[in-house]
Amino acid sequence: MTSRRYYLPAFVVVVITLHFLLWQRYGGQDLMKHIPELNIPFRPNINATLPTTTELASLIQPEPEPPRRANATFVFLCKNDELGKVLTSIQQMEDRFNKKYQYPWVLLNDKPFTKQFKKRVRAMTDAPIEFGVIKREHWIQPDWIDEDRALKGRIRLLSQGIIYAASIPYRNMCRFNSGFFFHHELLQPYRYYWRVEPGVKFFCDIDYDPFVYMEEHDKVYGFTLSLHEWEPTIRTLWDAVKEFTSANPQYLSANNSMEYLSDDGGNTYNLCHFWSNFEIADMDFWRGEAYQRFFDFLESKGGFYYERWGDAPVHSIAAALFARKDQVHFFRDIGYRHEPFQHCPSGDDWVKGRCACDPRDSFDYTGASCIRNYERMFKHAGVSAT
């Protein structure tokens, strides 16, 4: 018993001495590396045969190829006073997708972002972030708009109880998102974008790159929610669309999605559109001749101010008519909410995505949704929706 009592202190002394000697000699470098030099009889089996060069080569793993990336960015139009909701949207996108992919963020505003706003947003991610101010002429109501007529239009919508009926900034925003955001200097380097808004929710892990998916599958427009527009806000939009397409039939895609937009072969608009607060799309499509001429034509009608044309129907109609129907993609695996509607994936997508939403609570097949219109186009064509 007595001699055992000394084992522990003796062992500690030996360890400390050994450590001290190594420290003296190697000055605090990684001591474990030098233990073999002490010649402690602690040797590998010398009878084992040495591996051949080929065997050694097979052990060296080739560096994994870095994942392919698309030329893409997030686009976030917002205001300084929306900071709290901007942060929660970015946080969810980073946690569920971008912390692995590091796509850049471009935040745009009609007024300069405050220092505090930029500091708080920068704290959310290591991905590159840029903050831009929108050119005045891309934002304000143009001088040639007849303000008396615009005022009458606002009063009319107000009397019909339409949301944002009297708001000019809201109209500026819809016009900017329809025709100008993709011309902003900060977005010139990029082709694909993912639009994000304040206070939205991303429910599921996104374990692949939707931008690369768009590129590899030749998609131009991706959505998660599809619904009906308020008719009074776009009273004359379809007439303008028909006027443009009959004068410019060359822009209509041979395999377009007219069936999604119209239940009578294009005579009337059924109000279906993709909800543009979520968009993953190709800015080169908006920058292309067909869309540019389409937007200029709509702009000349003044409907962004005389009525309240939204960027959602404008983008949706263009994507549905000027692109092939298989170029418009339903991201059914991305769980998303913008009040008051949400798309929650189901089945394997829900499990794989570790989605935080209830799959029974999804807007897709409710009465106000247009997903059935989208899907029926592919059923008629004998293929499943893309």
Ligand X SMILES: Nc1nc2c(ncn2[C@@H]2O[C@H](COP(=O)(O)OP(=O)(O)OP(=O)(O)O)[C@@H](O)[C@H]2O)c(=O)[nH]1
Report which of 179, 184, 226 is spatially closest to residue 374, judged by C-alpha positions: 226
Selecting among 94, 215, 229, 279, the annotated active-site residue is 279
Q: Taking CB within 5 to 8 Å according to partner kind, which of Mg ion, ligand X, none is near residue 110? A: ligand X
CA–CA gap between residue 149 and residue 152 (Å, rounded): 5
- Which residue's CB is nearer to Mg ion, number 197 or number 205? 197
- Which residue's CB is nearer to ligand X, number 107 or number 317? 107
**What is the bridge-based pairing of β-strands 192-195 and 279-282?**
antiparallel
- Which residue's CB is nearer to Mg ion, number 195 or number 325? 195
Distance of closest approach, residue 109 Cβ to ligand X, in angstroms: 4
Report which of 294, 74, 33 is spatially closest to residue 198, judged by C-alpha positions: 74
- Calculate the CA 307 to chain-centre distance: 29
Q: What is the DSSP letter of 268?
A: S
Distance of closest approach, residue 276 Cβ to ligand X, in angstroms: 9
What is the distance between the terminal CA atoms of the chain, rounded to a whole angstrom? Answer: 79
- Which residue's CB is nearer to ligand X, number 186 or number 258? 186
Q: Taking CB within 5 to 8 Å according to partner kind, which of Mg ion, ligand X, none is near residue 297? A: none
Report which of 319, 204, 213, 226 is spatially closest to residue 271, judged by C-alpha positions: 226
Distance of closest approach, residue 197 Cβ to Mg ion, in angstroms: 4
Adjacent-strand bridge partners of 280: 194, 222
- Which residue's CB is nearer to ligand X, number 173 or number 298? 173
Distance of closest approach, residue 227 Cβ to ligand X, in angstroms: 12
> With left for phi above 0 and alpha for psi between -120 and 50, is residue 158 left, alpha or beta?
alpha
- Which residue's CB is nearer to ligand X, number 22 or number 173? 173
CA–CA gap between residue 262 and residue 375 (Å, rounded): 14
Which residues, at least 6 apart from 154, have a Cβ–Cβ distance to it below 8 Å? 165, 166, 168
Positions touching Mg ion (CB under 5 A) are: 197, 277
Positions touching ligand X (CB under 6 A) are: 77-79, 82, 109-110, 169-170, 173, 197-198, 277
Residue 279 annotated to the active site:
yes
Q: Could you give the angle at the alpha carbon of 142 between the alpha carbons of 166 and 273, nearest 5°?
A: 60
Alpha-helix residue ranges (DSSP H) falling in 302-361: 303-306, 311-322, 347-352
Which residues, at least 6 apart from 235, have a Cβ–Cβ distance to it below 8 Å? 307
Catalytic residues: 279
